[in-house]
Amino acid sequence: MTTENKTNYYQRFFNLLNKRERYSFWLMSGINSFFFLLMTFVAGANPVTTILFFLLIQGSIIGYYIFINKFKRKSKEREWIDAIAFAVVAATLIRTFFIEAYTIPSPSMEKSLLVGDFLFVSKVNYGARAPMTPMSFPFAHNTLPVTQSKSYIDWPTMPYFRLPGFQKIKNNDVVVFNYPAEDGRPVDKKENYIKRCLGIPGDTLSVVDQQVFINGVAVENPPKMQFKYFVQTDGTFDETVAKRNDITEGGPIGNNGEFELLLTGTAKDDLSRQSWVKRIETTLQAKGAGVHYIFPFKENWGWNVDNYGPIYIPKSGDVVTLDSITYFIYERAIKVYENNPTFESKDGKFYLEGKEITSYTFKQNYYFMMGDNRHNSADSRFWGFVPEDHIVGKALFTWMSLDPNESNIFRKIRWNRLFRPIR
């Protein structure tokens, strides 16, 4: 194509557009160019990948305006297409870089968060994470709603990059993140989890008789934290007490008035005052009673859900001396999360890229997450650290809450939980 033909082509294209469409075209092109420069020169993405992705997006923008101008202006068809396109683009930008809605599917944060709570999660507090798997179906996380097939294409991929945020993650923040122990999916397409951040980079965490300590100091417990208790009754159980205390987990474990229940401190105290309750005991796992399913999966260390650690949570730039203990604690972080697949231990020595090493310098920050429902939460005690590149955002407030066990439509909405801040 000659220079004159190219000029005529551009002129014909822009002649299709009215003034408003030209402004929107240059706006979208500017955003595309901005992210091209950001990912190439700041995030350090592969130039070939970013160029191809830039051309794909730019081609889609041009193609959209060519397609839309096949319809007569102010026609219903064109208005609908314009409205849908604007909604998809605007919603995608808002969900990716500002705020996104999530729902609570499991009871791991009971009673701080309930199954059926709908949350708004801020992407800007900790800094919005640029898409690492940009080619995906709008509004679908990792599977399509009907077919349950993949909602994304594995290539091209972008490196991890996070825009500046307003704050850093603090101890006790409620955080949404991608489940780090899941393999087989890109980082940003792993399942979303929500937990409370108990340990931040540089902290040493331990659990002693169910109490969490950070750097040797007992942390403030969430007011609605739950534990599992053994409850012995006289054979009866007053359901009004259960309803009053919102006791929804657990149940009878025999025919002799024995129950295993998950209770908040308030619920436990209320039950203990009932005449039909004979005994309430904690199901505390004793010190030294190690279990094989607790991270880092060394039963002879004696760690369990109620007595755990101490464990150091690494931060970017930390240098850890490698030995038999640190290898088991940090092996997955070094090999998987820091992308060192050749890291290994042989005959008491440690190797990376075939070369012996005695220490390792961490590239990113890590966090230790736990659920407020301490005896019914799959969290860092079971699968280890959460890397910084897995962080999605900060949970702000519940905007809706629906009781999954309530069939009456008027009672299904938990009105007292609407627009409640998350603490």
pLDDT digits (tens, 9 = 90+) for 304-350: 999 999 999 999 999 999 999 999 999 999 999 999 999 999 999 99
User: Are 17 and 85 contained in the same domain?
Assistant: yes
Please report, for the domain that includes residue 130, its CATH number: 2.10.109.10
User: HSE (CB half, 13 Å, CA atoms) of 229?
Assistant: 21
Instruction: Please indicate, yes or no, whether residues 102 and 171 belong to a single structural domain of this protein.
Output: yes
60 with 155, same domain: the answer is: no
pLDDT tens string 195-254: 999 999 999 999 999 999 999 999 999 999 999 999 999 999 999 999 999 999 999 998
Residues 16 and 55 in one domain: yes
Residue 238 sits in the same domain as residue 173 = no
Residue ranges, the chain, pLDDT below 70: 1-7, 9
Q: Name the CA radius of gyration of the chain, rounded.
A: 27
What's the structural domain count of the chain? 3
Question: What does each C-alpha distance from 69 to 11, 56, 90, 136 come to in angstroms?
Answer: 15, 20, 21, 26
Query: DSSP 3-state assignment of 299?
Result: helix
Domain carrying residue 11: 3-93
CB 360 within 8 A of CB 397: no
**Are 271 and 190 contained in the same domain?**
no
Q: What gap in Å lies between CA 335 and CA 137, rounded to an integer?
A: 30
Amino acid letter, residue 247: I
Residue 321 counted as domain residue = no
Q: What is the CATH number of the domain that holds 239?
A: 3.30.70
User: Residue 361 phi/psi, 5° resolution?
Assistant: -105, 120
Among 282, 316, 350, the domain boundary falls at 282
In a domain, 301, yes or no: no
87 & 102 share domain: no
Residue 180 within a domain: yes
CA dihedral (214, 218, 223, 225) in degrees, to 10, reads 70
Same domain flag for 124 and 89: no
State pTM to two decimals.
Answer: 0.92
Q: Does residue 22 sit in the same domain as residue 65?
A: yes
Task: Kindly state whether residue 355 falls inside one of the protein's structural domains.
Answer: no
